[in-house]
Structure 1
Amino acid sequence: METLFLSDEDVDAYADVPGIIRALEGAFAAYERGNAQMPAKSYIDLPQYNGDFRSMPAYLETDDWDAAGLKWVNVHPDNPSNFDLPTVMGTMIYSDPETAYPLAIMDGTELTMKRTGAAAAVATDYLAVSDATSLGIVGAGVQAYSQLEAIAEIRPIAEVVVSDLDDERVERFIDTFSDDFDIRGGSISEAGHCDVLSTVTPVRDPIVGPDDVAGHTHINAMGADAEGKHELDDDLLRSATIVIDDHEQCTHSGEINVPYHEGVLTDDDIHAELGQIVVGDVAGRTDDTGVTVFDSTGLAIQDVAAAHVVYEEASASEGGSPFDLVGAGN
């Protein structure tokens, strides 16, 4: 028995996006039903290196499969300028729950991008208008690509408006998707008046206000992943139907973390966790729902679900690079 090594290129090749969307939907349901274990994300702060490590373990059981895994990820902002390395790097260990055998070690950075897009797609499916055909994206970095790829799987997206202060990033994004979509650059407000809006920026001062969105827009707030980050104006959040992925993480480091700790938002302002909507305990969008917001922090169960899909696809295709990690032989 061997462990499968999967590089970033392997993860990209075997990350079946529709499959990951379905797997994440199942993961949200399993978490809501109590069929998952997800200890709190732990941090190792390294101020001497202006960085940190984050440990994200999880186990989940669905009707068809169960899986366990651990993502080990860092954030070192000085890496690009000082060491020619990415700011964020991740490694995923994917294990057989029955034997604990490490089935795969795979690149966690590419995996994170795929599951982040898929999480937005699940939320969009439950919270966006059913006939949504336009998508706005604020922030043209790497996360923007997976947002479009995944959301286009569950809504017939035809028009895309991307907004970013960096014109070169906008042009690269447009060039990538120009054959498949009516895509153009635009202002934040032009992006926000699409049927669906995904925000993928690291800002700490809100950049999207109430006047920047249409009355029916669904917003995937994906950028906030640490205390103090905040993309959406408080007035916009107060007037919207807010759905979160996890209460502890969102109030600590999600889009709502700043207004929540300032008392601007309370638990009464949170409509539901996404898992409650997936299992049918709470309604998603109804005919009288206006603006909706999905506050996504990224959960370890999502990483495990996505890793499950990648591993199964790679195994079926005899992809990746098998090696004997624990001396178990063949």
Structure 2
Amino acid sequence: MSAAPVFLSAAEVQRHLGGCSRLLAPLEAALANFSSGHAGGVAQPVRTVVPVARHRGFLGVMPAYSAAEDALATKLVTFYEGPRAAPAGPSHQATVLLLEPSTGALLAVMDGNVITAKRTAAVSAIATKFLKPPSSEVLCILGAGVQAYSHYEVFTEQFSFKEVRIWNRTKENAKKFADTVAGEVQVCSSVQEAVTGADVIITVTMATGPILFGEWVKPGAHINVSECGSAGSSSASGTTVMSRLPSRRQRGSLCQAQAVAGSFQCRCRCPFPGTFSAPGSKLHLPFHMDAPFSKPVIAEPPHIRPFESGCL
């Protein structure tokens, strides 16, 4: 008879994982394995999303297997766009299931919220290491939620920025962020003020329309685009929207974008895109996004494959 699975709460996951920086080496190896295709031994299908239309929610299922670690896991994540029965609760909730690959037996049920926050920030840091401009001095964070804190943690540990700025739709939350984290953070009153002259930009919002426009971005700046709301929809609701994004890719090939009402809108359900290089600026998108892209620029093909996993 199989042993009962282990249950790990958020506090226990936090204790075992430690800081985001601890995840950098194994995640960079996982990215390399995924980019190697079949030889890398990573099997990771496109995320499946089940709409919960009655409650304006979604259930996402994200399985993956890595031959290098002989690890089999799946992440279950729910996210809601509107008011819920418990409005004070998080809009995103995740659980990670670890399975015995040889038998399929359930080994562990883990809180996935901490894993998601740390993993996403760590992957953004990996992309930034390779793509940021030399001598980057100014970091800008758009948004002041959970992902903002995890990104700030790893970015200030791994990089030396002389100035950190933050903007949030609710300025009080931006001020709270600045008062909470270690180090000096400048609270900005507008997105344009925050991003002007920034070398590295991180977007971690739930914006429902374009918030960042290309003419505001410093040539050569690196942008990490995170957070998502609706999955696979053709609307911009609940997504972080960028104005200078290239066309997107599904399963290793660039997908076609269509001009819709003066903006670009992806028509497919992509996995989380990987790293793209656009003329003059570089974009990293660790999250799934189906959003209109206004004033797009043509990008060269990404040089690494997209990687999505709350499990590895």
Q: TM-score, normalised by structure 2?
A: 0.76
How do residues 16-27 of structure 1 correspond to structure 2 at under 5 angstroms? 16=18, 17-27=20-30
Alignment size in residue pairs: 275
Whole-Å separation in 2 of the counterparts to 1:213 and 1:197: 9
Structure 1 CA distance for aligned equivalents of residues 163 and 207 of structure 2 = 26
Alpha-carbon displacement from aligned partner over 1:271-301 (angstroms, at most 9, x marks no partner): xx748x9xxxxxx79xxx7311112226885
Contact 1:54–1:72 under 8 Å retained in 2: yes
1:76 has 2:86 as partner? no
What is the CA–CA distance in structure 1 between the aligned matches of 2:86 and 2:254, rounded to whole Å?
33
Match of 2:129 in 1: 125
Q: In the alignment, does 2:5 pair up with 1:15?
A: no
What is the CA deviation profile of residues 191-223 of structure 1, one whole-angstrom value per residue up to 9, with x for unaligned ones?
A: 322211001122232111123221121000113
Instruction: After TM superposition, give the deviation of residue 250 of structure 1 in Å.
Output: 11
- Show CA shifts across 1:76-122 (max 9, x none): 34564556543221111012323434332111122111111111111
Moved more, 296-305 or 47-56: 296-305
Q: Choose the corresponding residue for 1:48, options 54, 60, 77.
A: 54
The question of 1:231 aligning with 2:241 is answered yes
Q: How does 1:212-251 map to 2 (within 5 A)?
A: 212-224=216-228, 226=231, 227=233, 228-229=235-236, 230-233=240-243, 236-237=244-245, 247-248=250-251
Seen in structure 2, the aligned counterparts of structure 1 residues 67 and 10 have a Cα distance that, compared at 3 Å, is same
CA distance in 2, matches of 1:251, 1:162: 32
Distance 1:82 1:156 in 2: 40
**Paired amino acid for 1:297:** F
Following superposition, the deviation at residue 43 of structure 1 comes to 2.0
Cross-structure match for 1:295: 285
Name the structure 1 match of 2:7: 5
Shift of 1:18: 1.9
How far apart, CA to CA, are the structure 2 residues paired with 1:263 and 1:207?
13
Report 1 or 2 for greater relative contact order, CA contacts < 8 Å, sequence distance ≥ 6. 1
> How far apart, CA to CA, are the structure 2 residues paired with 1:259 and 1:7?
45
Alignment of 1:29 with 2:32, yes or no, is yes
**2:191 maps to 1:191:** no
Percent of aligned pairs sharing the same letter: 26
Deviation at 1:153, TM superposition (A): 3.4
1:314 aligns to what? none
Q: Indicate the residue corresponding to 1:311 in structure 2.
A: none
Shift of 1:144: 0.7
The amino acid that maps onto 2:27 is L
Pair 1:144-2:152 in alignment = no
Contact kept, 8 Å, 1:163 with 1:188, in 2: the verdict is yes
How far off is 1:70 after superposition? 0.8
- Give the corresponding residue for 2:177: 173
- 2:163 counterpart (159, 165, 168): 159
CA shift, 1:265, in A, is: 8.4
Q: Tell me the SS of whatever aligns to 1:143.
A: helix
Query: Is the contact made by 1:36 and 1:61 (CA closer than 8 Å) also made in structure 2?
Result: yes
In structure 2, relative to structure 1, the CA distance for the partners of 1:249 and 1:261 (3 Å cut) is farther
Say if 1:61 and 1:258 are closer, same or farther in 2 by CA, change over 3 A: farther
Give the gaps of 5 or more residues in structure 1: 267-272, 278-283, 306-330
Higher helix share: 1
Task: Give the C-alpha shift of residue 41 in structure 1.
Answer: 1.4
Tell me how far 1:26 sits from its aligned partner: 1.5
Contact 2:34 2:307 in 1 (8 A): no
How far off is 1:189 after superposition? 2.3
1:280 aligns with none
Q: Secondary structure at the match of 2:109?
A: strand
Normalised TM-score (structure 1): 0.72
Amino acid at match of 1:135: L
Q: In structure 2, how many angstroms separate the alpha carbons of the residues matched to 1:101 and 1:93?
A: 10
Q: Is the 8 A contact 2:137 2:199 kept in 1?
A: yes
What is the distance in 1 between the residues matched to 2:50 and 2:82? 17
C-alpha distance in 2 between matches for 1:31 and 1:138: 29
Q: 1:53 to 1:251 in 2, by over 3 A?
A: farther
Counterpart amino acid of residue 33 in structure 2: A
**Distance of aligned partners of 1:42 and 1:212 in 2 relative to their CA distance in 1, 3 Å threshold:** same
In the TM superposition, what is the alpha-carbon distance from 1:170 to its structure 2 partner? Answer: 0.7
